[in-house]
Structure 1
Amino acid sequence: MDTAMNYERAKQWILAEDRFTPESLGKCESVMCLGNGYMGLRSALEEEYVNEKRDLFIAGTFNKFDESEVTELPNAADVTSMELHLKSERFSLESGRIENYERFLNLKTGELVRNVIWISPRGKRVRLTFKRIVSMKRMHVIAQQVSITPLNRDMKIRLRTGIDGQVTNSGAQHFSEGEKRFYDHKYMQYVSRTTESGITFVTNSAVKREGFGSGEEGRIGMGRRHVYCDYEWDAAMDETVTFEKISNVHTLRDLEHAGRTVQELQEESVRELQEALKCGYDILARESAAAWEEKVWSRARISIDSENELDELAVRFAQYHMAVMTPAHDERMNIGAKGLSGEGYKGHTFWDADIFVLPYFTFTFPETARKLVKYRYLTLPGAHKKAQENGYAGAQFPWESAWYDDGEVTPAFGDVDIVTGRPQTIWSGKIEQHITSDVVFAMWQYYQAAGDQAFMDDYGYELLFDTAVFWASRLEYSADDGKYHINNVIGPDEYKEHVNDNAYTNYMAWWNLNKAVSCYEELSEEKPGLLGKLSEKLNLESYYEKWRELAGKIYLPQPGADLVIPQDASYLTLEDIDLTKYKEQEEVLLIYRDYNAEQINKLQVSKQADIMILFYLLENYFTDEVKKANWNYYEPRTLHDSSLSLSTHCILANDIGDRDMAYSLYQKSLNIDMGPFMKSSDGGIHSASIGGIWQSVVFGFGGVRVLEGNLRIRPSLPKKWRKLSFHLNWHGQDLFFTVTKESVKIENRTRVKAADIEIAGKVYQVFDEIEVSTER
């Protein structure tokens, strides 16, 4: 996106487009989406176009279209569309001529602005400015402002806008229509209810012209799933007419509305709309910008002094989207693979949320991280159900999760098989099982960083033990070698299905079992009462000795003579082909144009990091020599066809000392959503990549890790970077790091207690401020 590459705009936190391209609307709709964690609003233009996708999602409001489909986030009624006629000509950028165009998102304030000078087919020249926010201050409010200035003649402006419930999820209608009404001929209201989950939505909108009171009467109208108003204003040449549209959305699933009736919610939400309309767009925008500063930037700002301004803009872009897509208000829901920016993956939560996004909150907003981890605890009944259905015990976490009690929601079939012409079976929901350990690893990382013993006592130990029970039932004994194996799985590399002894899966299960053993022993000495309660609930006494046996006999793939660890039992025996054209591809998944999934399964080609992410998470268990040997073997065979992959490789490249490769991979990771390929984000932004950008900066170039409960920093700045600064929250202390190529400076801004931090191999106690030379 050309304008985002402008250095001056990057310094202003601006992500922009400088031309209207109707065939590529989806890109900007996703990357410029607005939200506040409660709702996500895809940034479709006010006027409607054929290729657009008008999506508004309310976190956690999942619904099934019918019994043959899985649950998904339903597309709520549209409140942003506006049909404008300027002296009898409909405003559309596909007609007439565009003299000037820019649209930009201010990442710092969360405001979307579009400026257009349009010449109509009949020669009218008009300047239009559109502004829009989803309030970070008022969780339910969407505000829009439009200014229109005729530049060469007087004209009548006609507007039709309202609440449109005719929207769908790619054709699937998730709502039954409820009541439609107008209050005082000014305030539009539309009530709808999801068809299967039965969640009531109440949506309100109103329009006012600047300087003309709190609301404006228009000519009211109703249609099927649609309420609207028509307005008319006269505008003299060079006179600017400004009007505002304020909307809000509430549901009876919202925690704040528990126990309320639909009628009570209707009345309360209209009162809220009236108050917001009285404030007006400018006040709402200012208070929202202030909330962004207070809630996000003042606590987690990152600065990168680089020769390339895009490096800093990218991490701010990542932080913006993590704030937009994370339901920090409600522990009953989690982060979707596309956030709240599009219909991709149906709003479902994957291991992406635990391993790639959660660490940002763990180390900057622990109160939010706690809720995200608590969500996994709340989903234990679904994990029990999945384990039982598969013939196992304990908790086996679903591959795709939605509402906390939905259980497994992975679709049965996916895209077409190019050989058979049939839909491909999605095996991940059945046999990609490493997610169970991933959930526990992420929870344990939260506990180490936050020091939240109350969480462990109330939820964490139970979650840990329950998953260890699953692995005890999942492991398969082989008399041939006296070891326990995990057969017929998919590891992180989803190009390899139905494999045995995937190294990542086996090692993470081993880690899970060992952690259960050590925590059992710790509780037996320090908290026998708590252990007794958990033992009674989970029958732990019968599992403890089994865990010890399994942890000692689980098969862990070892480095060979060349130090390469087999990714799985068969990978190193597969056919090795020339992957040059796929490694140089500008699009992902191009290999599927030449091979189907069964054929790819027989080649030495990986979709994404597998062994590499094992080295990242369990860093202390492998030598630098082993890491380098496996990097040299697997990276040339990895196509990075998943958005999860590049950031992991970026961090590992830093670990093995290849700064140039690390920086190159960082640059590539930025292009997943911000890059020039205009179809990459049609289905929504890539949450894992977004989280991975932050991890690449802080864990990769910043060198931050938690090893055996200790915080370590070993920075490795790219050549183009002069300085990096960032916040971390460690055991309740707000730590501010400033890293250069010569030193690390740490300020403890909380100053309640000292923080122990390892720098350059030595542990320092930081109570107020310290600076340590890192020059060798």
Structure 2
Amino acid sequence: MNYTTGTGDLQNWLVSEDGFRPEWLGKGETVFSLGNGYMGLRSVTEEHYANETRNLFVAGTFNKFAANEVTELPNAADVLWMEFKLNGVRFDLTQGKIHAYRRTLNLKQAELIREVTWESPNGDVFELVFKRFVSMANLHSIAQRVSITPKQQTVLTLTSGINGQTTNSGVQHFLEGDKRLYDGRFMQQIQTTTESGIDFAFHSVHHFMLNETIEPKSIIKMDRRKIFFDYSDMIIPQDETLTIEKYSTIFTSRDKELTVETTEELANHALNVTKEIEAMGYDRLLEEHIQTWNELVWEHAPIAIESNAMFDQLAIRFAQYHLAVMTPKHDNRMNVGAKGLSGEGYKGHTFWDTEIFILPYYTYTNPKIARSLLEYRYQSLSGAHRKAKENGYEGAMFPWESAWLDDGEVTPIWGAADIVTGEATKIWSGFIEQHITSDIAFAAWQYYHVTGDQDFMDRYGYELLIDTAKFWASRLEWDEETKRYEINEVVGPDEYKEHVDNNAFTNYTAHWNINKAIEYVELLRTDKPELFEQLNDKLDLETADERFRHVLDLIYLPQVREDGVLPQDDTYLQKEIIDLTKYKNQENVGSLFLDYNLEQVNEIQVSKQADVMILMYLLEDLFSADVKRANWNYYEPKTLHDSSLSLSTHSVLASDLGDQELAYDLFRRASEIDLGPNMKTSDAGIHAASLGGIWQAVVNGFGGVRMAGGKLRISPMLPKAWTSLTFSIDWQGETLDVKATQEKVTITRRQPTDDAVTIEVYGEERLIVDAFTSEVLSV
């Protein structure tokens, strides 16, 4: 990968791949993936290669293949597909000779460009340029442009269409469906998911130009789940350019904005839109697409890093790009998958990744989208209630993996092979990784205080916080010997420790959740009596509040030892300590499991990711700086960062502890999970939560932004490599522009009013009317 190809206005905006390597297809397919939140397109090439993974996903269109499998996003029809024969020879980069090759993702314009000079096995030479984008302005549209310039007169044959023979790793989620050609040009394929019954309408049309528009000789063909054209006998004179444009649209019967009632109405609407898209043309569609990107992302929430290390600026833009590509901002019935919309990894399911790692980006930069993501959780309460009831609890017990709003738990039961037993490893997360319930409560609370969105709290927030607390109050287990409530048999954030008792993160966040519920029940009772009565009818607040107050002070919270270390759980600190140097220096994550199985790892003091440390990040006011440092010194050497969520958390904490150079090193390592030199890290899809974590490392870490106790703190401390950091955040209805250098920080209100904003800057409260500048203080 090459990160230095951008110059001028495009400096630090381009991610490039120099050279074609079939063994590394997955990396480029993921890193260069395109999307708009409605759909995500894995960036395979137009022509086919072995080992490729051709994925097109439409957010929220889940399907279940069989009763013993879980719901997943179905891999939709391949509309990118184009096969070329040039003077009778198939265009294939594994054959002949490549004289020049570069594929580039322009982050600023969200356009992918591939430039190739290729010599076929018979000695003919061609220059080809492939361009494509998934429109952010027209959410249902994909535009492609292919330009072919031969160095000798050439006869081109092209096969291109809609291929619905795609699968999810062999699983076909679609029925055959209908195929039809309209006006001799517009291909239509209708397919329906096998179990969920969602109609998909695919359309594609081609446009050819050779000095002027031409109509090549063609024949329409249909096959099983497939409709396509064979175009033949297109003669391209030497050094002239044939341009082929292909416009495709995807609509589904689940699209919220549509009012159609039948499959026929859906198909007709989609066909008409396809005709409109083609009439607009590539350049105009691209112009509107770029304008929407600017308004939504680059102008609204810009981040500028002045540094000799140009990669850093590119890395944060890459993170923002993919966050925009993967987030379904158009529909509050949907959420973000752990791999976004870039691959089949984790089946499109939503984890705690959204609330803890991705949501803060939107909470601070686009509260409307943040609210939509939280409304998804509110709407999925029925599934959370069912999971609680099935497990013998009350309230809302949110599933570890979520798909449909009412699905409940969709975590697969079996996973990778156990190297010792040879059997499939049981995935316990869906059964006992329960901290996600308090994670969601925390995210709703954080959103409310950052945005001041009282309407959200009245409609959804109070209920979420109280309903989740009801689960925890019922989940607690009384220990008669110690006279305390415990939470046993769980998995905390560190998934290398299963079936543990009193995981500190779980216990502390459950306690926090119940405490907040007590606070809000009292607030509702005194300040919002009508809402109190509504929620009392729904949640029995009187009984719940009595239970909350009874258990709160009896919940066991692991305590800090004399050496400052907080036990991760009841037994972690008594487990075997081994030399982890080999695994800390690993090239590929998970190398520990080449030597041990999960049962053995459970008995070693080794962690997959931040556990105690992320607790000290989220509930920072509960722990002193000395305690945080003591726990860093104890747990970080035992943490392999095998989860992509871990490095960014540690980067923010290193900033908090005043070690900016360590924080910077961790930020760089986090940025390299997808962008780094390891060409196999991203085969299953983008690391969505890590990208949100990169933003947190920059803004919450180096930018020093934190909401603590409902108050805003901005205390930047830059690494030595950076001359300045500029960013914007939303705070309670207005936008603050922050510029930090090594010497000072300036905070400016974009739309100042007469009312001052209170911000803590380097430990002192400041009242800001329009702008404020402070000298940087040492930590």
Q: Which TM-score band (shorter chain)? A: over 0.9
Map 1:103-118 to 2 at 5 A: 103-118=103-118
Contact conserved, 1:65 with 1:195, CA < 8 A, in 2?
yes
Distance 1:440 1:275 in 2: 44
Contact conserved, 1:186 with 1:216, CA < 8 A, in 2?
no
Compared CA separation, residues 280 and 214, structure 1 to 2 (3 A): farther
Distance 2:75 2:627 in 1: 48
- Greater CA drift, 544-553 or 296-305: 544-553
Compared CA separation, residues 602 and 219, structure 1 to 2 (3 A): same
Map 1:162-561 to 2 at 5 A: 162-210=161-209, 218-232=218-232, 233-561=234-562
Distance 1:370 1:54 in 2: 32
Contact conserved, 1:647 with 1:669, CA < 8 A, in 2?
yes
Contact conserved, 2:12 with 2:313, CA < 8 A, in 1?
no
Contact conserved, 2:5 with 2:16, CA < 8 A, in 1?
no
- Greater CA drift, 73-82 or 217-226: 217-226
Q: What SS class does the counterpart of residue 221 from structure 2 fall into?
A: strand
Deviation at 1:756, TM superposition (A): 1.9
Deviation at 1:775, TM superposition (A): 3.8
Aligned AA for 1:719? Answer: K
Which residue number corresponds to residue 40 of structure 2? 40
Distance 1:344 1:215 in 2: 42
Contact conserved, 2:494 with 2:611, CA < 8 A, in 1?
yes
Distance 1:259 1:283 in 2: 28
Deviation at 1:537, TM superposition (A): 0.9
Q: What SS class does the counterpart of residue 553 from structure 1 fall into?
A: coil
RMSD of aligned alpha carbons: 1.2
Is residue 755 from structure 1 mapped to residue 757 from structure 2 by the alignment?
A: yes
Aligned AA for 2:49? Answer: Y
Residue by residue over 1:196-225, the C-alpha shift from the partner in whole angstroms, topping out at 9 and shown as x without a partner, is 000000000000013655987731111111
Residue by residue over 1:642-668, the C-alpha shift from the partner in whole angstroms, topping out at 9 and shown as x without a partner, is 001000000111111111111111111
Contact conserved, 1:648 with 1:696, CA < 8 A, in 2?
yes
Aligned AA for 2:338? Answer: A
Distance 1:287 1:536 in 2: 49
Deviation at 1:17, TM superposition (A): 0.5
Distance 1:635 1:214 in 2: 64
- Greater CA drift, 86-95 or 517-526: 517-526
Which residue number corresponds to residue 567 of structure 1? 568
Contact conserved, 2:309 with 2:721, CA < 8 A, in 1?
yes
Deviation at 1:8, TM superposition (A): 4.4
- Greater CA drift, 569-578 or 762-771: 762-771
Distance 1:462 1:63 in 2: 30
Compared CA separation, residues 611 and 409, structure 1 to 2 (3 A): same
Aligned AA for 2:206? Answer: V
TM-score (norm 1): 0.98
Aligned AA for 1:768? Answer: D
Deviation at 1:421, TM superposition (A): 0.7
Distance 1:216 1:551 in 2: 76
Which residue number corresponds to residue 694 of structure 1? 695
Deviation at 1:157, TM superposition (A): 1.0
Distance 2:197 2:459 in 1: 31
Residue by residue over 1:682-711, the C-alpha shift from the partner in whole angstroms, topping out at 9 and shown as x without a partner, is 000001101000000000110100011001
Contact conserved, 1:7 with 1:310, CA < 8 A, in 2?
no
Distance 1:529 1:700 in 2: 41
- Greater CA drift, 257-266 or 45-54: 257-266
- Flag structure 2 segments of 5+ consecutive residues without an equivalent: none
Distance 2:495 2:369 in 1: 30
Distance 1:139 1:755 in 2: 38
Residue by residue over 1:723-765, the C-alpha shift from the partner in whole angstroms, topping out at 9 and shown as x without a partner, is 0001101111011110111111112112245422111222223
Identity %: 56
Q: What SS class does the counterpart of residue 177 from structure 2 fall into?
A: strand
- Greater CA drift, 759-768 or 328-337: 759-768
Aligned AA for 1:41? Answer: L
Distance 2:346 2:497 in 1: 21
- Greater CA drift, 386-395 or 215-224: 215-224
Contact conserved, 2:308 with 2:722, CA < 8 A, in 1?
yes
Poorly superposed stretches of 4+, deviation over 4 Å: 5-10, 211-217
Contact conserved, 1:206 with 1:215, CA < 8 A, in 2?
no
Which residue number corresponds to residue 87 of structure 2? 87
Q: What SS class does the counterpart of residue 218 from structure 1 fall into?
A: strand
Distance 1:408 1:479 in 2: 32
Deviation at 1:7, TM superposition (A): 7.2
Contact conserved, 1:215 with 1:277, CA < 8 A, in 2?
no
Which residue number corresponds to residue 708 of structure 2? 707
Distance 1:351 1:97 in 2: 47
Contact conserved, 2:203 with 2:274, CA < 8 A, in 1?
yes
Distance 1:719 1:12 in 2: 20
Which residue number corresponds to residue 738 of structure 2? 737
Which residue number corresponds to residue 625 of structure 1? 626
Residue by residue over 1:602-637, the C-alpha shift from the partner in whole angstroms, topping out at 9 and shown as x without a partner, is 000000000000000000010011000000000000
Contact conserved, 2:12 with 2:311, CA < 8 A, in 1?
no
Contact conserved, 2:4 with 2:14, CA < 8 A, in 1?
no
Contact conserved, 1:208 with 1:216, CA < 8 A, in 2?
no
Q: What SS class does the counterpart of residue 176 from structure 1 fall into?
A: coil
Distance 1:240 1:520 in 2: 70
Contact conserved, 2:260 with 2:266, CA < 8 A, in 1?
no
Contact conserved, 2:6 with 2:13, CA < 8 A, in 1?
no
Deviation at 1:243, TM superposition (A): 1.1
Compared CA separation, residues 87 and 231, structure 1 to 2 (3 A): same
Is residue 11 from structure 1 mapped to residue 19 from structure 2 by the alignment?
A: no
Deviation at 1:535, TM superposition (A): 1.1
Contact conserved, 1:155 with 1:237, CA < 8 A, in 2?
yes
Which residue number corresponds to residue 663 of structure 2? 662
Deviation at 1:373, TM superposition (A): 0.4
TM-score (norm 2): 0.98
Deviation at 1:260, TM superposition (A): 2.4
Distance 1:303 1:312 in 2: 7
Q: What SS class does the counterpart of residue 175 from structure 2 fall into?
A: strand
Which residue number corresponds to residue 769 of structure 1? 771
Compared CA separation, residues 7 and 241, structure 1 to 2 (3 A): closer
Aligned length: 774
Is residue 581 from structure 1 mapped to residue 582 from structure 2 by the alignment?
A: yes
Residue by residue over 1:555-609, the C-alpha shift from the partner in whole angstroms, topping out at 9 and shown as x without a partner, is 1111111110100000000000000000001110000000000000000000000
Distance 1:581 1:747 in 2: 48
Distance 1:448 1:191 in 2: 46
Distance 2:341 2:406 in 1: 20
Contact conserved, 2:3 with 2:14, CA < 8 A, in 1?
yes
Distance 1:170 1:554 in 2: 45
Contact conserved, 2:38 with 2:328, CA < 8 A, in 1?
yes
Which residue number corresponds to residue 23 of structure 1? 23
Aligned AA for 2:638? Answer: R
Contact conserved, 1:125 with 1:150, CA < 8 A, in 2?
yes
